[in-house]
Amino acid sequence: MEEMEEELKCPVCGSFYREPIILPCSHNLCQACARNILVQTPESESPQSRRASGSGVSDYDYLDLDKMSLYSEADSGYGSYGGFASAPTTPCQKSPNGVRVFPPAMPPPPTHLSPALAPVPRNSCITCPQCHRSLILDDRGLRGFPKNRVLEGVIDRYQQSKAAALKCQLCEKAPKEATVMCEQCDVFYCDPCRLRCHPPRGPLAKHRLVPPAQGRVSRRLSPRKVSTCTDHELENHSMYCVQCKMPVCYQCLEEGKHSSHEVKALGAMWKLHKSQLSQALNGLSDRAKEAKEFLVQLRTMVQQIQENSVEFEACLVAQCDALIDALNRRKAQLLARVNKEHEHKLKVVRDQISHCTVKLRQTTGLMEYCLEVIKENDPSGFLQISDALIRRVHLTEDQWGKGTLTPRMTTDFDLSLDNSPLLQSIHQLDFVQVKASSPVPATPILQLEECCTHNNSATLSWKQPPLSTVAAEGYILELDDGSGGQFREVYVGKETMCTVDGLHFNSTYNARVKAFNKTGVSPYSKTLVLQTSEAAGAHETKPVKDTDSEEQTLPFPVPSERLPLRRMSPFSSTLNLQPSFPGRSYFDFRSSPHQLSLHSSLQSLNAPGCSLEAQSASYSQLVDIKKLLAVAWFAFDPGSAHSDIIFSNDNLTVTCSSYDDRVVLGKTGFSKGVHYWELTIDRYDNHPDPAFGVARIDVMKDVMLGKDDKAWAMYVDNNRSWFMHSNSHTNRTEGGITKGATIGVLLDLNRKTLTFFINNEQQGPIAFENVEGLFFPAVSLNRNVQVSTSTPGLRAACSGCCFQVCPGTVKSTAPR
């Protein structure tokens, strides 16, 4: 009920309506307030005077002009009620509220009234304070507006429910509390208004005055006054005009005012309009309910904004504090450098002081000694030592002349702090928009009919859902390491098909894919279980099991009708996509702080494991090509090699332009399984010491292989060889190399051992044990050596049984 109070108050006085009247615009006003805001127009502007002056405009013309006025007002954003009229030749007036007023043509007096009884026009204008529409009153004045009896009843019920004190209905300003009520006038009076407006004399002396509370009760019990016709005050409304949208009496119908209008019974229209209002209220009630829920949401947003603001401020403060801490740490480091430089300068100067002091003391002693010798008068004795003294004096003098008297250190600090990049970064420190309103892509769907495995390769294909409306900018394919480890990215790009090569045989891998755009990434697709073949060349085909679970196993062959993107497996490193030349793509191994590009060529024998018979055999037997399971081709890597290394033969042959040893790595890293590769000595001059072995990716490239702790190598000359790691030389073994010799390297990561061979014979014992991690084939050489990757025996063993998947990628061979 309290929310309704604004509907019950007059927009002029701000109090509850008293004797409210209904304006043609459907707004309400107190009758007293309406009387106060009337505006008088000059007589010269009256329609009668203009008609008397012979304007020559007929009633029909006025009707048309009034319609034209309405159109014009509607276009300008201002309009008058349909019952208003405007004179076309009269300039518009303005009300006290600044509202334009168009004085209308007054209608002629009714024909049934004599000229003597015709009302005198007052040319009064009233402007609605709510919609600012204007109306010039006719001869009836304010009596021409109907009284809103319904509003009066609502106000009475509201005041009774609130039990508020009754106010005087005749106070001009702020109404005072009523003291009496006149039952005959039905008006509440305060004492001043009663003495002024209802004196106890004359006919008013017979009126009965009662207390306000009693008057309220009597008013509630008394029947409400029935609304009467505004044109015929003694007649009650009995019908309703549909065109005019107003109740009328029978006398109005008899006079013909609504002769061509549709007229309906008052009671029927009352029920119809009540039903329409109820239906409209239902819709408004739904909107009000939504508005309340929306307000609850907004209030929740206010709380969330406050919480997020506190959290964001705390995060900002923490980030700024971290920057300040980093700056303080850097400040401490720079101060330490300054102190170190300070101590160094002081040490140099003090050392020079000490040196000069000693030298000066020796020089002074020599001078005093020479002076004493000069004082001697023994010529022969003097000549015996004079030559030596002269040489000592000249030598000492020369010693003082060779920069001895020049300071070895300057007093200035040759350091200048370059803070401009940091200051520029601080000025550029700003917020970035990290959230977007657009949605993330839908989850990609793996196409099981195109996903497959073959030998140690796996092909995966995916697509966006058919009804997806959000475009994906790219996709991220992830694969685990085959041992149940963490997933790693193996492809990032726009393609929807990718082949991963170089997987381990007889291993199980899990694969999944997700899409991304500027907003973010989609959820992961279902996980597929990929089973590689037990051995190279084994073409076992199994049907795909499409289940409702999150995993499917795909061991069937690669389709040949589609050329997918090919990728090497990540082994134990993280694989990142890099751009490449057309028709061929490759990845980078990333192993901090360096990276090494990957694609195919250097020959390598790859076996994930050995049989029991092979495990019990010697290493010379393990190298037997008949027991090897796979062949992978890899090249030397120009990207990570020293700049003095010279490549040829598609990076399969290397030499050097320097007399110093330089290191070059292969493009493939190994983290598990058994691997063997061979290198051929193409040129060997002047008996140098090339080194062969394995290394980490960040090995030193400008020293012999094995000088640091990142390489395990065998260096060899024409007579003997040594094993070297961390600059430690061990196991000198007789037997060297010449032009055409073959160096074999066997890396068994299952047993964590490294063994070397020369011309298919094992060179010494097992070179290194407990080797684990990621290793790359490595060679160090100088300009006197040229090495190529070559395995002639392997080529013979592979003849007739090689399966080539794609030129320049991976080749596999079956065991004999």
Is the pLDDT higher at 451 or at 76? 451
* Closest CA relative to residue 604, chosen from 640, 574, 631, 643: 631
And the tokens for 337?
């450098």
**Statement: residue 241 has pLDDT above 60:** yes
Please, what sign has the CA dihedral across residues 388, 394, 398, 399?
positive
User: What pLDDT shows up at residue 280?
Assistant: 87
CA 388 from centre of chain: 89
User: What pLDDT shows up at residue 435?
Assistant: 54
Rounded to an integer, what distance in angstroms lies between the CA atom of residue 119 and that of residue 137? 12
Q: Which pLDDT band, with edges at 50, 70 and 90, does 779 fall under?
A: very high
User: What pLDDT shows up at residue 449?
Assistant: 83
**Statement: residue 610 has pLDDT above 80:** no
Least reliable range by pLDDT among 212-226, 362-376, 640-654: 212-226
User: What pLDDT shows up at residue 756?
Assistant: 95
**Statement: residue 353 has pLDDT above 60:** yes
User: What pLDDT shows up at residue 715?
Assistant: 95
Least reliable range by pLDDT among 393-407, 682-696, 789-803: 789-803
Question: Could you state, in order of their start, the residue ranges of all structural domains in the chain?
Answer: 2-109+118-144, 268-401, 445-570, 604-813
Q: What is the pTM of this model?
A: 0.34
User: What pLDDT shows up at residue 102?
Assistant: 40
Least reliable range by pLDDT among 62-76, 348-362, 671-685, 744-758: 62-76
For residue 589, the SS3 value is: strand
Is the pLDDT higher at 446 or at 140? 446
**Residues pairing with 785 in the sheet:** 684
User: What pLDDT shows up at residue 437?
Assistant: 58
Rounded to an integer, what distance in angstroms lies between the CA atom of residue 601 and that of residue 788? 12
User: What pLDDT shows up at residue 682?
Assistant: 93
Q: Which pLDDT band, with edges at 50, 70 and 90, does 752 fall under?
A: very high
Q: Which residue has the tokens 């209030």?
A: 299
Amino acid found at 551: E
Is it true that the peptide bond before 211 is cis, omega within 30 degrees of 0? no
Q: Which pLDDT band, with edges at 50, 70 and 90, does 330 fall under?
A: very high
Q: Which helix (H) or strand (E) holds 133?
A: none
Span 463-474, average pLDDT: 86
Query: In terms of CATH architecture, what is 445-570?
Result: Sandwich (2.60)
* Closest CA relative to residue 572, chosen from 736, 388, 680, 696: 696
User: What pLDDT shows up at residue 707?
Assistant: 93
Span 771-794, average pLDDT: 82
**Statement: residue 717 has pLDDT above 60:** yes
Best mean pLDDT range from 592-596, 660-664, 666-670: 660-664
Instruction: Residue 473: count other Cβ atoms within 10 Å of its Cβ.
Output: 12
CB 673 within 8 A of CB 749: yes
Is the pLDDT higher at 326 or at 91? 326
Is the pLDDT higher at 664 or at 675? 664
Q: Which pLDDT band, with edges at 50, 70 and 90, does 660 fall under?
A: very high
Q: Which pLDDT band, with edges at 50, 70 and 90, does 56 fall under?
A: very low
Q: What percent of the chain clears pLDDT 70, i.e. is strictly above it?
A: 71
Q: Which CATH superfamily is domain 604-813 in?
A: SPRY domain (2.60.120.920)
Rounded to an integer, what distance in angstroms lies between the CA atom of residue 236 and that of residue 430? 76
DSSP 417-465: ---HHHHHHHHH--------SSPPPPPPEE-TTT-EEETTEEEEEEE--
Is the pLDDT higher at 505 or at 24? 24
DSSP 87-117: -TTSPPEE-TTS-EE-PPPPPPPPTTS-TTT
**Statement: residue 614 has pLDDT above 60:** no
User: What pLDDT shows up at residue 332?
Assistant: 94
User: What pLDDT shows up at residue 767?
Assistant: 95
Q: Which pLDDT band, with edges at 50, 70 and 90, does 164 fall under?
A: low
